[in-house]
Amino acid sequence: MHFQRILEAYEQRWLERHDQNKKFRPKKLITDTPDIKDMILMKENLPLSKQQQINQSKEVPKKIRLKQQLQEECPICMMNLDDLQNVCEIDVCKHQICLTCIKEWAEKYKTQCPYCRAKFKKIYPIENGKRKNSPIKLNLKQPKWQPEQDQFYNSQEEQEENQMCQICGCSHSQYLMLICDKCNEQMCHTFCDPGFLEFFVPEKNWYCLDCRKSKLVYHKPK
């Protein structure tokens, strides 16, 4: 009984203190939280420049690149094409690249697409996902002619152009290009050959499609 009386007295004191704290606690006024009408008035009183910034932040960013283009990054600067302000399209292969990158690439290096090495003459600007009809002018400077270097580079470019895949007709990924061990003429990517379709060079001999059809060699696909 004595222990129960102590508990009851302790509970009564705790309730009295709790009620006192409630009395002295400052009440939160309703006017502290702005009403919807107040928010609208606050926004209307803002300067026009601030209102435009708020409206622009709510808008969904538009895609700069073309809708049908699956390519997302510039091959030179590796930036996302949607984040860039100036994007252009190459006339030959339709690849899209950062304008500043491709201008410097063409004017200082060579007029070949960094993706597929296709030679181009014109580039077209893209604005709001649409290609413009007027091409961008390029200040192409012809280098000083040096006989030895000119012959070397010409022969190297011709050799690269001749080294094209028998199936896809492209000359990229030279490290995965196979040359026929029978005719020593036809070439093909490892990932283009329907009998191989791999991303490494096989250790055994490889024969082109023409040699297989002419039954000069027997090739059993995996």
Sketch the domain layout of the chain as residue ranges. Answer: 62-144, 162-222
Cβ partners under 8 Å of residue 74, min gap 6:
81, 84, 97, 98, 101
Q: What is the pTM of this model?
A: 0.34
pLDDT value of position 37: 46
pLDDT tens digit string along 76-93? 777 777 777 788 888 888
pLDDT tens digit string along 124-138? 888 777 778 888 877
170 neighbors 160 (Cβ within 8 angstroms)? no
Question: What separation in angstroms does the CA of 187 have from each of 153, 156, 157?
Answer: 22, 17, 17
181 neighbors 201 (Cβ within 8 angstroms)? no
Q: What is the CATH code for 62-144? A: 3.30.40.10
Q: What is the average pLDDT across 57-86?
A: 63
Token pair for residue 56? 């622009």
pLDDT value of position 158: 54
155 neighbors 176 (Cβ within 8 angstroms)? no
In the chain, how many H helices and how many E strands?
6, 6
Is the pLDDT at 195 greater than 50, yes or no? yes
Q: Which of 31-35, 67-71, 173-177 has the lowest mean pLDDT?
A: 31-35
Token pair for residue 155? 């022969």
Among residues 180, 177, 181, 203, which one has the least CA distance to residue 190?
177
pLDDT-derived band at 118 (thresholds 50, 70, 90) equals confident
Residue owning tokens 């990229």: 172
Q: Return the higher-pLDDT residue of 14 and 149.
A: 14
Q: What is the average pLDDT across 90-117?
A: 80
pLDDT-derived band at 58 (thresholds 50, 70, 90) equals very low
pLDDT-derived band at 142 (thresholds 50, 70, 90) equals low
Q: What is the average pLDDT across 11-26?
A: 62
Radius of gyration of the chain from Cα atoms? Answer: 36
Q: How much of the chain, in percent, has pLDDT values that exceed 70?
A: 57
- The domains spanning 62-144 and 162-222 adopt the same CATH topology: yes
For residue 56, the one-letter residue type is Q
pLDDT tens digit string along 151-192? 444 555 555 556 788 888 888 888 888 888 888 888 888 888
Is the pLDDT at 19 greater than 70, yes or no? no
Token pair for residue 64? 């700069």
Token pair for residue 9? 């007295």
Cα separation, 40 vs 181, in Å, equals 78
Q: What is the average pLDDT across 2-20?
A: 68
pLDDT value of position 145: 46
Which architecture does CATH list for 162-222? 2-Layer Sandwich (3.30)
186 neighbors 166 (Cβ within 8 angstroms)? yes
Distance of CA 66 to the CA centre of its chain: 13
